[in-house]
Amino acid sequence: MSSKVRAQRHEMPKQAPDKRIKNFSEVTLGYTPELAVAEASRCIGCPKKPCVSGCPVGVDIPEFIALIAEGDFLGAAKKIKEKNSLPAMCGRVCPQESQCEAVCTLGKKGNPVAIGALERFAADFERLHADPLAEAQSSDLSMGKVAVVGSGPAGLTCAAELTKLGYKVVLFESLHATGGVLRYGIPEFRLPKDIVDEEVEYVKRQGVEIRLNVLVGTTVTLDELFAQGFDAIFLGTGAGLPYFLGVPGENLNGVYSANEFLTRTNLMKAYQFPEYDTPVSVGKRVVVVGGGNVAMDSARCALRLGAEKVAVVYRRSRTEMPARLEEVENAEEEGIEFMFLSNPVRILEDDKGWVKGMECIRMELGDADDSGRRRPVPVPGSEFILDVDTVISAVGTNPNPLLIRTVSGLALGRRGNVIADDETGMTNIPGVFAGGDIVTGSATVIAAMGAGKLAAHGIDEYVRTKNGRGM
């Protein structure tokens, strides 16, 4: 292949922006087999495989890409699944540009192999063409009994891995549906819920029992679970507690936390109101505060729910935005306006308790803070007013304290996160493990999965030792 062809990355076909802002269907349509083979053929199979070390779970990237290039799509999917059990999701939501694709050799010329899109292609091909029942099922679940709390990516992965290791797992979820953020946070147009359903079905087929509507700590306590004969408990309860802006006017009508806005929209399907009962009201002019995936998702949902104008206000500049690059580009294509180096000061009220505007102040970047990003500082006298009727606050979340505070003696970090051992996932309480956002604060799907898998092995070792089975 000529180097000219190699230089060009094949973009996935997408729904046109003017069309997609009127629906909740998936934006990117995925490669055709021809496009996938063409893109896979760009990989030069360099011997150092920097991409593999860029992947948090170490997927054998060059190998699966080579299989796609040869047309062995099912083989490629199998290869990925050796390391990553949820590739259809990761291909769609991982921040590839800061992981595998960031270190791709071709990336030095600004055009890395589209690893995420290829992962997604292989996984989707397998979903459509492989027999799900042909997968090996774990039949002997006699190693012990484990309770997994929370059905986000950390809990789902931990549960699936434990069944592979021979454990009977009961997965408890407080909501009426599984998936955690994958269900209630990330919208349908970015991660179709069919895919989440399929992954959950897979976990069930492995023998995991799922119990919805159980708020562990309240409906049943950890002590009661141990008394019921569970050998160990994994906490994967996420970082679901929203912060607010801390500015005057934040409780006005028309101000939402991103969690409320997205939960109404995605989990409760308010975008199909009144067919579905839960409402969400979005005004004509919406402003979203924040610069992460949550902010992008909120802004793009607002647009699809009928807002005429949607702006994102972020206190740093574009380069510091933590959102996935692809989603920022999608948001821009859809006409979302970005106001960088701006921060809200207060929300203005009309005479009926509703939002009628938001006052912001300009920021400039000062010295780097502990996260290594330059700290934004307000520019005195630079206040300005945005004419908006809806404000969505997407400025971060903390671990939900509901369960944590019922566990006496559990060691917590500064921000209320649970402290777990890096190698085993065990907390300071024997038999209680934790992983995912509850430990790290909001992070990524792949990191939560990695933590779930690691803890499964930590649990295995713990239970074997406890039950005197050795390794």
Partner 1 sequence: MYRILKKEILAPKIKLIEVHAPEICSHAHPGQFIVLRMHEKGERIPLTIADSDPVAGLLTMVFQEVGKSTTELGTLNEGDVIQDIVGPLGTPRDIRKLDCVICVAGGVGVAPIYPEAKAYHKIGTKVISLIGAQTKDMLIFKDRMEQVSDEVYYSTDDGSFGHKGFVTEVLDDLLREGLCPDEVVVIGPLLMMREASRVTAKYGVKTIVSLNAIMVDGTGMCGSCRVTVDGETKFSCVEGPAFDGHKVNFDELIARQRRFLAEEKLAMEHYLAGAGGCKCHQK
Ligand X SMILES: Cc1cc2nc3c(=O)[nH]c(=O)nc-3n(C[C@H](O)[C@H](O)[C@H](O)COP(=O)(O)OP(=O)(O)OC[C@H]3O[C@@H](n4cnc5c(N)ncnc54)[C@H](O)[C@@H]3O)c2cc1C
Contact residues: ligand X, CB under 6 A: 93-95, 149-155, 172-175, 180-181, 185-186, 215-217, 236-238, 240, 262, 293-294, 297, 324, 400, 402-403, 436-438, 442-446, 448
Nearer to ligand X, 42 or 300 (CB): 300
| Residue 380 exposed, middle or buried by CB count within 10 Å (0-12, 13-18, 19+) | exposed
- Nearest CA to 171 among 405, 452, 404, 442? 452
Question: Does residue 268 interact with partner 1 by CB under 8 A?
Answer: yes
Distance CA 302, CA 254 (A): 12
Minimum distance from residue 4 beta carbon to partner 1 (Å): 51
Structural contact between residues 189 and 161, judged by C-beta atoms closer than 8 angstroms = no
Q: Which helix (H) or strand (E) holds 357?
A: strand 355-368
Residue entry with tokens 């975008």:
271
Q: In this complex, which beta carbon is closest to ligand X, that of residue 62 or of residue 435?
A: 435
CB neighbours of 448 closer than 8 A, spacing ≥ 6?
A: 152, 153, 154, 157, 236, 238, 435, 436, 437
Instruction: Name which of 230 and 256 has its Cβ closer to partner 1.
Output: 256
CB of 252 to partner 1, least distance (A): 8
How far is Cα 174 from Cα 185, in angstroms, rounded to an integer? 15
* Chosen from partner 1, ligand X, none, partner binding at 343 (C-beta under 5 to 8 Å by type): none
Q: Please name the residue that has the structure tokens 């890409």.
A: 65
Q: Helices (DSSP H) in 8-165: which residue ranges?
A: 17-20, 33-40, 50-54, 61-69, 73-81, 87-93, 115-129, 153-164
Answer with the entry of partner 1, ligand X, none that 425 interacts with (C-beta below 5 to 8 A by kind).
none
344 forms bridges with which residues in the sheet?
360
467 scored as a contact of partner 1 (CB under 8 A): no
> Which distant-in-sequence residues (6+ apart) come within 8 Å of 131 by Cβ?
none
Q: Which is nearer to ligand X, 91 or 107 (CB)?
A: 91
| Closer residue to partner 1 (CB): 247 or 447 | 247
CB of 257 to partner 1, least distance (A): 4
Which of 438, 439, 456, 436 lies closest to 160 in space, CA to CA?
456
The dihedral over CA atoms of 84, 87, 92, 98, expressed in degrees to the nearest 10, equals 30
- Rounded to whole angstroms, what are the CA distances from 221 to 41, 124, 225, 233? 53, 39, 6, 11
Per-residue x/- track, 280-299, partner 1 (CB under 8 A): -x------------------
Q: Which of 9, 14, 205, 269 binds partner 1 (CB under 8 A)?
A: 269
For the CB of residue 277, give the shortest distance to ligand X in the complex, in Å: 7
Among partner 1, ligand X, none, the one that 257 touches (CB under a kind-dependent 5 to 8 A) is: partner 1
Q: Which does 413 bind (CB under 5 to 8 A by kind): ligand X, partner 1, none?
A: none
- Residue 264 lies near partner 1 (rule: CB under 8 A): yes
Which listed residue (1, 352, 367, 380) binds partner 1 by CB under 8 A? Answer: 352
**Interacting residue with partner 1 among 110, 274, 372, 468 (CB under 8 A):** 274
- Which residues, numbered 377-406, are part of the site for partner 1 (CB under 8 A)? 400-402
Looking only at residues 222 through 261 of this chain, which bind partner 1 when binding is defined by CB under 8 A?
240-242, 244, 250-253, 256-257, 259-260
Q: Would you give the DSSP letter of residue 375? A: E
**Nearest distance in Å: CB 205, partner 1:** 22
Q: Which of partner 1, ligand X, none interacts with 437 (beta carbon under 5 to 8 A by kind)?
A: ligand X
Does 413 participate in binding partner 1 (rule CB under 8 A)? Answer: no
Amino acid at 471: M
Strand boundaries in 209-294, DSSP class E? 209-211, 232-235, 241-242, 255-257, 285-289
Of 142 and 408, CB closest to partner 1: 408
Find the binder of partner 1 among 32, 137, 213, 467 (CB under 8 A): 213
Look at residue 268 and give the partner it binds from partner 1, ligand X, none, a contact being a CB closer than 5 to 8 Å depending on partner kind: partner 1
How many other CB atoms are there within 10 angstroms of residue 369's CB atom? Answer: 10
Which CB sits closer to partner 1, 208 or 305? 305
130 contributes a contact to partner 1 by CB under 8 A:
no
Q: Does 346 bind partner 1 (CB under 8 A)?
A: no
> How many other C-beta atoms lie within 10 A of the C-beta of residue 46?
12
Q: What is the rounded (10 degree) CA torsion for 185, 191, 193, 199?
A: -100
CB of 292 vs partner 1, minimal distance in Å: 17
136 burial (CB, 10 Å; 0-12 / 13-18 / 19+) is exposed
Of 220, 345, 348, 443, the one binding partner 1 (CB under 8 A) is 220
Before 274, cis peptide (omega within 30)?
yes
Q: What's the min distance (Å) between Cβ of 294 and ligand X?
A: 4
Q: Which of 114, 146, 175, 341 binds partner 1 (CB under 8 A)?
A: 175
Positions in the binding site for partner 1 (CB under 8 A): 174-176, 212-215, 218-220, 240-242, 244, 250-253, 256-257, 259-260, 263-264, 268-269, 273-279, 281, 352-353, 400-402
